[in-house]
Amino acid sequence: MDDGGDMPLPSPKIGQAANKIASLGSSYLDFAKQFYADAKDRQASLDSVTGKVVGSQLGAQDTLNGWAAADRDRLEKVFQPLQDQYIADAQAWDSPERQAAAAAEARGDVVKAASSQDAARQRQQASMGVNPNSGRWAGADRAADNATALGAAGAENKARSDLRLQGMGLRASAIGMGNGLASQATGALATGAQIGNSATGNVAAANTANINTAGIMQSGTQTAIDGYSKQAGVLTNLYNGQLSAWNAQNNAASQSNSDLMGAIGTGAGLIFSDEDAKENKEPATGSLKAVRSMPVQEWDYKPGMGDGGRHIGTYAQDFKAATGKGDGHSIPVIDAIGVTMGAVKELDAKVEKLAKVMPAYDRKGGAVGRGGRGIRQGAS
């Protein structure tokens, strides 16, 4: 039985592609290792600079925090008591009592000045010969008194107004002083916190850069792994294809043997050949000629094909060419038996025909007639 030809070999390009994938993965891994080594050197330099910057920033933060604490301590111990006293004085500065006192003082100053002016005026009038008891003298006194009263009242009002304005100014100054000191301490703390945050950010950035550097190595390794995995997948698929083809051929050979064993049986097997199950019957001729045309040889099955034993028989290709039966790869058992039986019958007919025209011989070699009587030598 023919095995249908050798198993086809896989395309060499499959292996070449797998090797190329693995080669690319390995090349990238080498590149990633070198890149990682260079990145580590750069990262070490960056870490050194970052460490110095962070140390300086943290030092500045500590300094500003110290300043803020000192300013707060000075505010509480020195300026707040002065502020409290200043505020108290500012609040009491334009009190009604102080306004009254300032008005009286201003009035006194006006009256004193007016008295001096009156004395000078009287001396002037006396030098001019004006009689102190005259109406002219009295009129001048009345005018001077009115002017003095008006001046005193204006001075009182101005004194009160000036004092109130001074009080408002003092209170405003006190409020501004307190606000400024608190803002200064708060600003120092905020600046210190900002510097601390900046230092933390620099450390985080350095760590991120280091992690990214490690990611380079990880990426290269993963790429190499993917390359080898793809190579393994391609080779596995190739092997599975070869194995499937080998199994298919073995199954075909096993099925052929199974058909043969089922046909001839294993001591008790029978071929189903009931006449009632058949139709389109007609005589078969040419079996002997077909058998003559087919070579009969001894042969071994190839490894993995058939039952692996040594046999005698013809080939499916020759059987199909001589009888038209089979697929050219296997021989139908029923047809093989039928052709053999047909050839035997045709050969038997030929033998019978020869027997009718040829004399028979007895055991001693003498020719005898069909009835067994001796025939004389030379008789016609």
Q: In the prediction, which pLDDT does 2 show?
A: 44
Mean pLDDT of the 67-74 span = 85
CA distance 376 to 367: 8
Whether 359 has a pLDDT exceeding 80, the answer reads no
Residue 17 in tokens? 């592609």
Specify whether the backbone of 129 is left (phi greater than 0), alpha (psi in -120 to 50) or beta: left
DSSP-based three-state secondary structure for 305? coil
pLDDT tens digits along 126-172: 787 777 777 777 777 777 777 777 677 777 777 777 877 777 777 67
Render pLDDT for 281-305 as a digit per residue (tens, 0 to 9).
999 999 999 999 999 999 999 888 8
* Angle CA 127–132–134, to nearest 5: 115
Token readout for 70 is 């000192």
The secondary element (H helix, E strand) that includes residue 370 is none
User: What pLDDT score does 367 carry?
Assistant: 58
pLDDT at 32 > cutoff 80: yes
Task: In whole angstroms, give the CA distance from residue 2 to residue 22.
Answer: 41
| CA dist 286 → 68, 80, 339, 343 (Å) | 124, 137, 9, 8
The helix or strand, by DSSP H or E, that contains position 22, with its residue range, turns out to be helix 12-74
> Is-contact 21 227, C-beta < 8 A?
yes
Burial 32-65 (b: 16+ CB within 10 A, else e): beebbeebeeebeebeeebeeebeebbebbeebb
Choice among 33-42, 57-66, 213-222 with the minimum mean pLDDT: 213-222
Which uninterrupted H or E stretch holds 75? none
% pLDDT > 70, the chain: 80
Sequence-ordered alpha helix ranges (H) in 75-134: 80-93, 96-127
Q: Nearest-CA neighbor of 70 among 179, 233, 169, 184?
A: 184
Q: Which residue has the tokens 């510097």?
A: 195
Q: In angstroms, what CA-CA distances link 84 with 26, 79, 98, 185, 354?
A: 80, 8, 20, 19, 159
Q: Is 330 exposed, middle or buried (0-12, 13-18, 19+ CB in 10 A)?
A: buried
